[in-house]
Amino acid sequence: MAVDMEYRRLGDGELKVSAVCLGTMTFGQQNSQAEAHEQLDYALDQGINFIDTAEMYPVPPRAETCTRTETIVGNWLAGKPRDQVVLATKVAGPNRNITWIRDGPKSLDRANIREAIEGSLRRLRTDYVDLYQIHWPARNVPMFGRFHFDPNQELESVPIREQLEVMAELVREGKVRYVGLSNEHPWGVMEFLRLAAEHGLPRVVSIQNAYSLLNRTFEFSLTEIAYRERVGLLAYSPLAFGHLSGKYLDDPKTTGRITEFPGFGQRYEKADVVPATAAYAALARKHGLTPTELALSFVYRQWFAASTIIGATNMDQLKEDIGAWNKPLSDEVLAEVDRLQLNHMNPSP
């Protein structure tokens, strides 16, 4: 069944993106180019105009596969009208032990950002990207399952103003249309906004952070910023690395990212993940939904979510993910979701 896709504006800009975005981080690792192109074609046919990728993809990040995803997406994009696709990619930040991408701690300075965008444009076979995102902050912040800020971990990093000044150059040159953040914290978002206003630099329009039934921390700290500053959430990992599909409840050894790459999904290895997932799966089935439909429909229609990034490794998964758009949740179900959230408060922040 085709979906009646909704389109939402990013920030104050002209970009209108589909409420569902196709993520690509499996392309080149868990999916071949042919499989990836089949997914991209199907998504486009279903009204999805928004594609998200990154220079470091696929994941888990490895030197031998780095940048492969952008190449796969670029080979597909070359055969499509460019103005039909809103294309987002990311420049990798420092401090993630990804030593094969440029200059470590300096990886968000002028030389490195320019090297990154030129490489992305070449691989994507386009002369511009619609949304260029900083993949994670350069400064000391807890990320990817860590949640304690530790002042003792302070380090030298490229100032935010310098990062924005380089982005301004790329916007003036027509290589980037809009700028976004990813894996960012409230202080960082506000600092990017403050410096943009004070110095006439590009204003960020989006923040790509994890958000799901197992991780609603965005609501605690960033929704007011999203509303007052018009910065939309691009919600990633809405199925929590597949946990919220329920498949690991039925068979903990089933094929998936968690079993194929042990230790990679550490944010989802916390004690309450399985009980919380089981509770949400039971709620879904009580109301005639699959666990996937409940989890995705919940995220799809959050007022602060400009778009939700889905990912799949086969077409059946992709069809269910997109089809969940047609399953809006009732007030009764949403109230039960909130009750479960109080019992299982963000087990995988």
Catalytic residue selected from 42, 57, 132, 211: 57
User: Which token pair is 223?
Assistant: 């929704």
What is the C-alpha end-to-end distance of the chain, expressed in Å? 34
- The dihedral over CA atoms of 283, 289, 292, 294, expressed in degrees to the nearest 10, equals -60
Closest CA to 76 of 35, 28, 43, 40: 40
User: Which token pair is 247?
Assistant: 């498949």
β-pairing, 7-9 vs 16-18, is: antiparallel
Asked if 53 contacts 133 with a C-beta cutoff of 8 angstroms, the reply is: no
| Annotation marks residue 57 as catalytic | yes
In whole angstroms, what is the distance from residue 200 CA to residue 344 CA? Answer: 43
Q: Calculate Rg over the CA atoms of the chain.
A: 19
Phi, psi of 63 (to 5 degrees): -60, -40
Q: Which residues are catalytic?
A: 57
